[in-house]
Amino acid sequence: MANQPLFVAGPNCFTCQARERTEWCVLQDAELRLIEDGKKSRRYLPGETIFREGDTPDGIFCIESGMIGLRKSDAEGNTVLLNLLSEGETLGYRAFLADSEYDASAEALEPSTACFVDRPTIRRLLEHNPALGLRFLKRVAKDLGDADEKILHNVSLSVRARFAHLLMVFVERYGKLADNGSSSIDLPLSRQDMASMIGTTPESMSRTIKKMETDGIARFSGRTVQIPSCRNLVNEFDPEVFV
C-alpha cells in the first residue's frame, strides 16, 4: 500500500467521493472517461466569478472542492444569495439545459476548484444515457420546489424566523452533533452573505443574532455556532400548535 503512492495530481472523476451523491452517479465508466478526458479544471479564489448573470453558457461546471454561491442582482445593486453549492455538485445546468442565458452569477465563497465540461461532451452523454437527463430534470425540479418555499417564507416569516430556518438547513448540511445533544456548525458564510440569503441587511442580521443569543437559541463565536436545542430552533419558524 505504500509502494504505489495514492497521490492524485488533480481532480479526478473516478476517485471523486462526492459523485455518488450527484447527477453523475448514473454514469458508466466509459462515460465518465469522456468527462475526465474532456474537462478543464481551474482554481478560484474567494470572491472570484465563475460565470456572470447574462452570460451564455458553453457547458456545465462541476465543483471539485470548496464552495460556490449563486447570486442574483438587479440594476440598483440589490443582491440575493440564492443557493450554495459544494463539493461534487453541478453548477450552471439550468441555463445550459434551458438553452438560455445565466440568470444568476456564480462566485467562489472559499478557495475552490471547479471543472468545466463542454457542450459537445454533455450533449453526447445526454444522448447516450437518457437517465442523466432525467437526473437533471429532478434536480431542477427540486430547486424549483426550494425556490417556491423560499418565496412563501419571505412573505410569511420574520427575519428572525427565516434566519432560524437557514440555521436549521446549515445544521442538516454541515452540522456536527455533540455528545450532550447540542449541535455545532462552522458557518460557511460571512454574516453579510447570510443576510443576503434571507433577504435582509447586515444590520438586521447582527441584531437578530444578538437577540437569539440572549434568548439562548444559539451561541455565536466567529463563524462557529452552538445550538443547544434544535427543537427550540425549529420552533422559531415552525411553532408548535400543541404546547
Partner DNA sequence: CCGGTTGTTTGATCGGAGTCAAGCTACCCA
Partner DNA sequence: TGGGTAGCTTGACTCCGATCAAACAACCGG
Write down the least CB distance from residue 18 to a second copy, Å. 21
Q: Which does 201 bind (CB under 5 to 8 A by kind): a second copy, DNA, none?
A: DNA
Q: Exactly one of 22, 129, 182, 204 binds DNA (CB under 7 A); which one? A: 204
Residue tagged 444569495 (cell numbers): 81
Hey, is 40 helix, strand or coil?
strand
Residue 196, C-beta contacts closer than 8 angstroms, at least 6 positions apart: 71, 79, 80, 81
**Residues 96, 60 contacting (CB under 8 angstroms):** yes
Q: Does 154 bind DNA (CB under 7 A)?
A: no
Residue 11, C-beta contacts closer than 8 angstroms, at least 6 positions apart: 39, 41, 64, 65, 113, 115
Q: What's the length of the chain?
A: 243
Q: Does 192 bind DNA (CB under 7 A)?
A: yes
Residue type (1 letter), 94: R
Site for a second copy in 91-130 (CB under 8 A): 94-95, 97-100, 103-104, 130
Q: Does 133 bind DNA (CB under 7 A)?
A: no
- Of the two residues 206 and 224, which places its CB atom closer to a second copy in the complex? 206
- Of the two residues 32 and 80, which places its CB atom closer to DNA in the complex? 80
End-to-end CA distance of the chain: 58
- Of the two residues 43 and 72, which places its CB atom closer to a second copy in the complex? 72
Q: Which does 131 bind (CB under 5 to 8 A by kind): DNA, a second copy, none?
A: none
Site for DNA in 65-94 (CB under 7 A): none
Which conformational region is residue 18 in: left (phi greater than 0), alpha (psi within -120 to 50 degrees), or beta?
alpha
- Of the two residues 45 and 141, which places its CB atom closer to a second copy in the complex? 141
Site for DNA in 214-233 (CB under 7 A): 220
Q: Exactly one of 150, 171, 189, 218 binds a second copy (CB under 8 A); which one? A: 150
Q: Does 160 bind DNA (CB under 7 A)?
A: yes
**Residues 170, 152 contacting (CB under 8 angstroms):** no
Hey, is 233 helix, strand or coil?
helix
Q: Which contiguous run of DSSP H or E holds residue 22?
A: none
Interacting span for DNA (CB under 7 A) from 102-110, 112-120, 191-199, 231-239: 191-199
Contacts with DNA, residue ranges (CB under 7 A): 158-160, 190-192, 199-207, 209-210, 220
